[in-house]
Structure 1
Amino acid sequence: MMSWLRDAGFLAALEPEWRRELEGLKPVHVPARTTLFRPGDAAQSFVILLSGRIGVYLTGRNGRELLLYAVSPGETCVQTTLGVLGGAPYTGEAIAETDLVAVMVPPTVFERLMAGSSSFRQFVFRAFAARLGDLMFVLEQVAFVKVEQRLAHVLLDRADASGEVSATHQDLAVAIGTAREVVSRRLEAIASKGWIANERGSIRILDRAALTKMAAQP
């Protein structure tokens, strides 16, 4: 049977003895929309994501959600790493945004890998630093960047090759840390300029250059 490590290029430098340790773990399939953890939960394993995308959200006291960061193959979850390393409980909620294939590394195996494999340590801390960078970007955006700029940025980021953005107004509000009503008003204003077509359940970008200029405004 082919080892799942063949598909995990981000672990290509792993030493042979530690590759054998991980090869004994079986990938699991997780359906889209599954809740992986909630605030207060304890970390049960370190997740190595092989395919799919996980969104990690923070919910405020007013019920408003904010997307903290997303996890794709080769990346890790800051909260899971902190939970497995230091026993910190989760403060956010993780949702499988697509079907996932992942390997769940038990804490005892994770600890042995961290102690014995320099390559694995490099992978964990490099990915941890990248996620912290994402969190700082979110903080900067919410604190200092206008809603219009954040909205233009997320529209460009989520658009496919044809310019279609398959997201509801609520999805976009969560992504930029504001209320759905605010997003709806801003989208109407942008549509009135002829830059987008605002349709039910999706948005079509008509003028990518204009949106790019809006996203880059100081």
Structure 2
Amino acid sequence: MVKDLEEAYHLTFEKELLREIAETGKLKTYKEGEKIIEIGDYVTAMPLLLNGAIKILREDKEGDELLLYFLESGDTCAMTLSCCLGQTKSEIRAVAETDTTLIMVPIAKMEEWTSKYKSWRNFVFESYHTRLTEMLDTIDTIAFLNMDQRLMRYLRDKAKINQNEEVQVTHQEIAYDLHTSRVVISRLLKKLELDGSIELRRNNIKINDL
């Protein structure tokens, strides 16, 4: 755990803070597709992502999901942090995009480190700013981009997160993430293939236009 922690956060935290995180944090592993946080859960610890990737989703009143953003190694979820400090229920769903390893930091330590370590304060504030920017970007995408542009952006993000130009995802999964129907996604994927932006294969989608 210590090695993975240092690899992910050595440029973010000083050695003493890394040592404290390793001593007090709880290591968690999740398989691809496994839920990490569910809407309505009370969140009692803040996740620090060591490796893998997580997608953060919001749900409307009808139960349809919307992808907000992805988290990568070295990230945390600011919305989860808010729930921890406010002791409120989670308003997001976190799902492992790939096999993922986390360290869960208890609330008491989060508050202690805020006053003790400048690097921790900076990390928390920067996380808030980054996630807010990403959510605003998501809103802009929904408001101003056509669905085919949203779809292409989604595929590029998936390729980046997985570090692979071949994305393993079903048409239905894309439809869930983009809050639309499978029929619409299938039609747009075919259009993108005809344009040469992607190649539709049996079990994956190859992104040509990264």
Q: Which residue type is aligned with residue 110 of structure 2?
A: F
Equivalent-residue separation in structure 1 for 2:63 and 2:202 (angstroms): 24
Matches for 1:31-110 after TM superposition, within 5 Å: 31-110=31-110
Match of 2:181 in 1: 179
63-72 vs 122-131, which moves further: 63-72
138-147 vs 20-29, which moves further: 20-29
1:6 maps onto 2:10 in alignment: no
* Secondary structure of the structure 2 residue equivalent to 1:27: strand
Say if 1:39 and 1:89, in contact at 8 Å, map to a contact too.
yes
Say if 1:64 and 1:174, in contact at 8 Å, map to a contact too.
yes
Match of 2:136 in 1: 136
120-129 vs 149-158, which moves further: 149-158
Where in structure 2 are there 5+ consecutive unaligned residues? none
Equivalent-residue separation in structure 2 for 1:85 and 1:93 (angstroms): 18
1:121 maps onto 2:121 in alignment: yes
Shift of 1:56: 1.2
Match of 1:22 in 2: 21
81-90 vs 162-171, which moves further: 162-171
Equivalent-residue separation in structure 1 for 2:10 and 2:181 (angstroms): 37
* Secondary structure of the structure 1 residue equivalent to 2:98: coil
Deviations 1:82-103 (A, max 9, x none): 0112223111211122222211
Q: TM-score, normalised by structure 2?
A: 0.85
Equivalent-residue separation in structure 1 for 2:193 and 2:13 (angstroms): 49
Equivalent-residue separation in structure 2 for 1:111 and 1:103 (angstroms): 16
Q: Relative to structure 1, is the Cα distance of residues 190 and 73 closer, same or farther in structure 2, using a 3 angstrom cutoff? A: closer
Q: Which residue type is aligned with residue 110 of structure 1?
A: M
Say if 1:3 and 1:23, in contact at 8 Å, map to a contact too.
no
Shift of 1:4: 5.0
Where in structure 1 are there 5+ consecutive unaligned residues? 213-218
**Percent same amino acid among aligned pairs?**
32
* Secondary structure of the structure 2 residue equivalent to 1:108: helix
Matches for 1:135-174 after TM superposition, within 5 Å: 135-159=135-159, 163-174=165-176
Say if 1:45 and 1:84, in contact at 8 Å, map to a contact too.
yes
Shift of 1:11: 5.5
RMSD of aligned alpha carbons = 2.6
Q: Which residue type is aligned with residue 90 of structure 2?
A: Y
Q: Relative to structure 1, is the Cα distance of residues 159 and 111 closer, same or farther in structure 2, using a 3 angstrom cutoff? A: closer
Q: Relative to structure 1, is the Cα distance of residues 103 and 168 closer, same or farther in structure 2, using a 3 angstrom cutoff? A: same
Larger Rg: 1
